[in-house]
């Protein structure tokens, strides 16, 4: 199979079949968009519930302290595998059935995690939670396929705002539920929510049967050629890898920084600080609207500069002062805003490469920037241990600056 290299060649093969319940040509209804945004947030939250509970979970299942990180790491590994091997199925399998099937996998994994009393079953369930949670990255291109060209950015932005809210709210919600009840309750409660969500999506989503007639191996093999032949995908993935590396570094280091001697915040104070970052989710619909108006380049530049400025302003006030804490809080909002801005404009750009390729493009895009995030987390932990906030923030600043340097070489709209 030889992939065409230009959008004009790609579009004729993107014919899809939908039943009469499909969204009208004028665009998705507000209710449908809200439902898909809420679904993304609720599913994505499953990736993060265990992060603040890793200590109690490890103690309860007999996992050694030095292996506690596996609780989060295996979920991330599962998600990464799913991005590359499962998300592309959205270009091959009827989308509604695929999404509901993945939610079913998440549900079973959540129940298994809640029932686990030993490390093996719990860690296997963690891996499966990550695999099933890639349903989020099947919903986003599905929404893009349902939306007409004129408002595709707005729709993607609105759906992504739900995803970002789910990510940011997951940790404090898990902490509260575990405090009031137990860590088991968080997994059971989420499983109930997933069952209700699957039923809702099955009855409300339209059918979408992709036009691609490939075998699974051909589908996966085509991804390498897509990455090699699509400059827009290469650039957008590179920008977001730098951005997400900075994001992950910031959120890995700030809890350690805030609980240290400079600020001395309690876990409750750190949770409130994390909630401030939720405000950055407002960037999603803004970015989508800017992209629909042809302002992808200025929106991208603004997003990259915002992340760089976020790290810079943390050095204005004396460390540990009230002003320093206020600036760090504003930096969290600005950083989340900038990362979300480039994420939505990036997705809007790659979705223009062809309707029949969107799931594969999305899988590649997400896998690449997800790798950047993993590198950022590792860099942050090392930098903070080696040189405290000064070194960590300088590395954080360097990441969007490098992305800006790459961005200045862009010669055409991307």
Q: Strand, helix or coil at 17? A: strand
Among 296-310, 324-338, 349-363, 396-410, name the one with the lowest average pLDDT. 349-363
pLDDT digits (tens, 9 = 90+) for 72-116: 878 888 998 998 899 888 888 898 999 999 999 999 999 999 999
Q: Residue ranges per domain, the chain?
A: 23-210, 222-414
User: Which residue has better confidence, 5 or 53?
Assistant: 53
DSSP state of 181: S
pLDDT for the residue 232 = 92
What is the Cα gyration radius of the chain?
Answer: 21
The Cα–Cα gap between 137 and 273 comes to 28
Residue 30: which of 148, 198, 159, 203 has the closest Cα?
A: 159
Task: With a cut of 60, say whether residue 5 has pLDDT above it.
Answer: no
The CATH T-level fold of domain 222-414 is Growth Hormone; Chain: A; (1.20.1250)
Task: With a cut of 80, say whether residue 317 has pLDDT above it.
Answer: yes
Q: Which CATH superfamily, name and number, covers 23-210?
A: MFS general substrate transporter like domains (1.20.1250.20)
Task: With a cut of 80, say whether residue 131 has pLDDT above it.
Answer: yes
| For range 135-164, the mean pLDDT | 84
Task: With a cut of 60, say whether residue 14 has pLDDT above it.
Answer: no
The Cα–Cα gap between 396 and 152 comes to 32
Mean of the per-residue pLDDT values for the chain? 85
pLDDT for the residue 3 = 38
Residue 62 Rama label (left phi>0; alpha psi -120 to 50; beta): left
Instruction: Grade residue 146 by pLDDT with cuts at 50, 70 and 90.
Output: confident
User: Which residue has better confidence, 192 or 170?
Assistant: 192
Q: Which two tokens stand for residue 301?
A: 């530049």
pLDDT for the residue 67 = 79
23-210 and 222-414: identical CATH topology: yes
| For range 209-235, the mean pLDDT | 86
The Cα–Cα gap between 155 and 161 comes to 10
Alpha-carbon torsion, ordered 77, 270, 110, 74, to 10 deg: 20
The Cα–Cα gap between 72 and 346 comes to 27
> Can you give the pTM of this predicted structure?
0.78
DSSP state of 209: B
358-to-142, 269, 295, 361 alpha-carbon distances in Å: 8, 41, 21, 5
């Amino acid at each position: 199979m030889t992939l065409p290299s230009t959008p004009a060649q790609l579009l004729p093969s993107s014919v899809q079949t939908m039943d009469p319940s499909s969204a009208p040509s004028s665009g998705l209804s507000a209710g449908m968009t809200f439902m898909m945004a809420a679904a993304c947030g609720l599913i994505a939250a499953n990736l993060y519930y265990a992060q603040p509970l890793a200590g109690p979970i490890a103690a309860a299942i007999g996992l050694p302290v030095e292996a506690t990180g596996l609780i989060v790491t295996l979920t991330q590994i599962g998600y990464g595998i799913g991005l590359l091997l499962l998300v592309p199925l959205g270009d091959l399998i009827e989308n509604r059935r695929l999404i509901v099937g993945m939610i079913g996998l998440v549900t079973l994994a959540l129940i298994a995690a809640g029932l686990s009393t030993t490390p093996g079953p719990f860690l296997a369930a963690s891996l499966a939670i990550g695999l099933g949670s890639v349903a989020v990255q099947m919903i986003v291109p599905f929404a893009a396929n349902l939306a007409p060209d004129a408002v595709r950015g707005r729709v993607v932005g609105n759906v992504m705002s739900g995803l970002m809210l789910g990510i940011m709210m997951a940790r404090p919600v898990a902490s509260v539920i575990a405090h009031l009840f137990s860590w088991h309750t968080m997994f059971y409660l989420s499983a109930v929510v997933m069952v209700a969500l699957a039923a809702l999506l099955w009855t409300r989503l339209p059918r979408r049967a992709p036009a691609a007639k490939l075998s699974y191996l051909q589908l996966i093999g085509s991804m390498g050629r897509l990455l090699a032949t699509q400059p827009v995908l290469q650039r957008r993935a590179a920008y977001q890898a730098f951005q997400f590396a900075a994001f992950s570094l910031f959120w890995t280091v700030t809890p350690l920084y805030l609980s240290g001697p400079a600020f001395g915040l309690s876990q409750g104070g750190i949770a409130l600080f994390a909630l401030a970052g939720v405000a950055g989710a407002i960037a999603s619909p803004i970015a989508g609207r800017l992209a629909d108006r042809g302002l992808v380049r200025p929106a991208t530049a603004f997003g990259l500069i915002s992340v760089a400025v976020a790290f810079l302003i943390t050095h204005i006030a004396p460390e540990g002062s009230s002003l320093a804490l206020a600036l760090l809080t504003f930096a969290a909002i600005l950083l989340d805003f900038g990362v979300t801005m480039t994420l939505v404009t990036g997705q809007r750009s790659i979705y223009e490469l062809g309707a029949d390729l969107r799931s594969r493009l999305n899988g590649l895009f997400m896998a690449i920037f997800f790798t950047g995030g993993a590198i950022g987390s590792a860099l942050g932990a090392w930098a903070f241990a080696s040189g405290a906030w000064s070194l960590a923030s300088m590395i954080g600043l360097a990441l969007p600056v490098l992305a800006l340097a790459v961005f200045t070489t862009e010669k055409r709209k991307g």
